[in-house]
Amino acid sequence: MCWSPLSPPEIGCLANSLPANRPNVIVLLFALAVLLVTGQSELQAAEAQRPNLVFILADDMGWGDPACYGGRIATPHIDRIAREGMRFIDAHTTSAVCTPTRYSILTGRYNWRSTLKKGVLSGTSPPLIEPDRLTIAGFLKDRGYATCVIGKWHLGLDWQKLDAPRSATTGETKGPGWDIDYASFVNNGPLARGFTHDFLYPASLDMPPYVYLQNDQPIGIPSVTKAFRVPNRPGPALADFEASACLTDFAREARRFIGDHAQKSFFLYLPLTSPHTPIVPSAEWQGKSGLSDYADFVMETDWVVGQVLEELDQRGLADNTLLVFTSDNGCSPQADIPGLVDKGHDPCGPWRGHKADVYEGGHRVPYVVRWPGVVSKGTVCQETVSTVDWFATAADALGQHDQIPPSAAVDSYSLLPLLKQTPSSEAIRPYTIHHSINGSFAIRQGN
């Protein structure tokens, strides 16, 4: 038998309909109404005490790119997070490339524990996160959070397939993905890995198929061949899909999600497609840096961060939101690092190497955190931390660190003691493992 609890007005109406000789029942119903209102108030109060969680991930932004790390590119919104929170100067990704780092952020496990021992996935690859693997999204969903990923997924999808590949309606039919049934939901996407909402691009922005998905379903059927990285990655695309519009789309969807869930605890994972190739700043941002297209793209990436901060401010949510901004690996050579260095800007900072390398330029990244009332303003942390630490940190922020199952997040350490500047004679991480695109390892322990 299905039923729903009565609202206070409904209880009042029921009381009015009772005979006058039933005062004991009226008193009981009145007490029930008081309990209901009290319970709702307590639930709302408990909801308000739990922090919202926002994790923004840039794509290929180097340690030295943000101005707060000494870069010459204007990044006022990233700088604001550092100014209002904590800046980590020895933060690392688990891998020097895209897919593996994303796996670690969501699972709390080093990427080399997965089946992907080197390289990255394509836009048509099957899922990397195991079906029974607990993610931070699933952990939070189980505790009543709305959980959303907006942006670059790059962790594989189970696309449903056609009996026979389709062809482009105009022009040539090139690249992988024409055999996908874009009218059907994907299997084992974010909704099957703990997210309640998603707005996705499947992989890197220079990998087909060039199509968005919303809540695990493509938003349209590709009809033309496009390529946003000359000359080697053509594939099916929506006729109106433009790579330069992605950041605007992601910012809009992020603001919409925050606005729609302003009264509920939420986790927003926002992995951007920039400043990874194709380096395509929108017309509004072209030339603004005075340095290069790449620097313009970094500025536009910072603008997206600003859009999130603005929405949190306007909704009155900033003070109860733990927000992280970082990058998935170091700067790519596609940014023309020597040319930028000649202009006085080194995306890799003083560190050897770049994206894909096992050297620090490949995996040491900007990492700034804001949580008003918990993280002191303008603080700097010199301790070694890793992007794999997000799972444990988020759970600890809820006071739920001890609820992480023994088989989950096995490589993740909570950064909460560092964020709270809790004195300790021991490092948070006993050691940190680094991994390159070709599967090479490095281990960092102590100094």
Band (pLDDT 50/70/90 cuts) for residue 231 is low
Please check whether residue 186 is in contact with residue 217, taking contact to mean a CB–CB distance below 8 angstroms: yes
Does 15 score more than 50 pLDDT?
no
Q: What is the rounded average pLDDT of the residues 417-443? A: 95
Report which residue type is found at 183: A
Does 381 score more than 60 pLDDT?
yes
* Cα separation, 198 vs 243, whole angstroms: 19
The residue among 322, 414, 395, 326 whose CA lies nearest residue 134 is: 395
Band (pLDDT 50/70/90 cuts) for residue 67 is very high
What is the reported pLDDT for 156?
A: 98
Band (pLDDT 50/70/90 cuts) for residue 229 is confident
What is the reported pLDDT for 43?
A: 47
- For the stretch 119-160, pLDDT in tens is 999 999 999 999 999 999 999 999 999 999 999 999 999 999
Please check whether residue 285 is in contact with residue 274, taking contact to mean a CB–CB distance below 8 angstroms: no
Q: Please, what is the average pLDDT of the chain?
A: 92
What is the reported pLDDT for 21?
A: 54
Band (pLDDT 50/70/90 cuts) for residue 232 is confident
- For the stretch 264-284, pLDDT in tens is 999 999 999 999 999 999 999
Does 361 score more than 60 pLDDT?
yes
Does 38 score more than 60 pLDDT?
no
Q: State the DSSP code for 127.
A: P
* Cα separation, 50 vs 316, whole angstroms: 14
CATH architecture of the domain with residue range 48-444? 3-Layer(aba) Sandwich (3.40)
Does 46 score more than 60 pLDDT?
no
- Residue 9 phi/psi, 5° resolution? -60, -40
Q: How far, in Å, are 77, 177, 354, 358, 372 from residue 122 at the CA level? A: 31, 11, 21, 22, 39
What is the reported pLDDT for 49?
A: 80
Does 189 score more than 90 pLDDT?
yes
- For the stretch 163-184, pLDDT in tens is 999 999 999 999 999 999 999 9
Q: Residues near 200 by Cβ (< 8 Å), separated by ≥ 6?
A: 149, 150, 151, 152, 153, 189, 190, 212, 213, 214
pTM for this entry: 0.90
Which token pair is 205? 């922005």
What is the reported pLDDT for 7?
A: 45
Q: What is the rounded average pLDDT of the residues 206-216? A: 98
- For the stretch 304-354, pLDDT in tens is 999 999 999 999 999 999 999 999 999 999 999 999 999 999 999 999 999
What is the reported pLDDT for 9?
A: 44
